[in-house]
């Protein structure tokens, strides 16, 4: 999770300085790394856990469904 936050901070920093080609290249790699980290995090959460969280969310917030 700390890695994910670090990547997001880098992403924001790079977006602010994305004028040069060098920074846009860094931005691309950070985006890729962030996507990979998110996918890894999702894989670690078991499917049953995700389903129970979703069902709980919709039970608590029926108007948002």
Q: Domain limits at 22?
A: 2-60
Evaluate whether residue 34 is within a structural domain. Answer: yes
Evaluate whether residue 33 is within a structural domain. Answer: yes
Evaluate whether residue 65 is within a structural domain. Answer: no
Evaluate whether residue 28 is within a structural domain. Answer: yes
Give the total number of structural domains in the chain: 1
Q: Taking 60 as the threshold, does the pLDDT of residue 64 lie above it?
A: no
CA–CA gap between residue 7 and residue 3 (Å, rounded): 6
pLDDT-based confidence at 27, cuts 50/70/90? confident
CA 11 vs CA 6, 19, 41: distances in Å: 9, 14, 18
pLDDT digit string, tens, across residues 2-26 = 777 776 777 777 666 655 666 667 7
How much is the pLDDT for 17? 64
Helix (H, G, I), strand (E, B) or coil at 13: helix
């Amino acid at each position: 999770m700390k890695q994910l936050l670090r990547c997001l901070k880098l992403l924001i920093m790079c977006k602010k300085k994305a004028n040069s080609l060098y920074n846009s290249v860094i931005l691309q790699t950070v985006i890729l790394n962030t996507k990979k980290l998110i996918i890894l995090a999702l894989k670690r959460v078991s499917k049953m856990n995700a389903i129970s969280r979703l069902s709980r969310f919709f039970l608590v917030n029926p108007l948002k469904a």
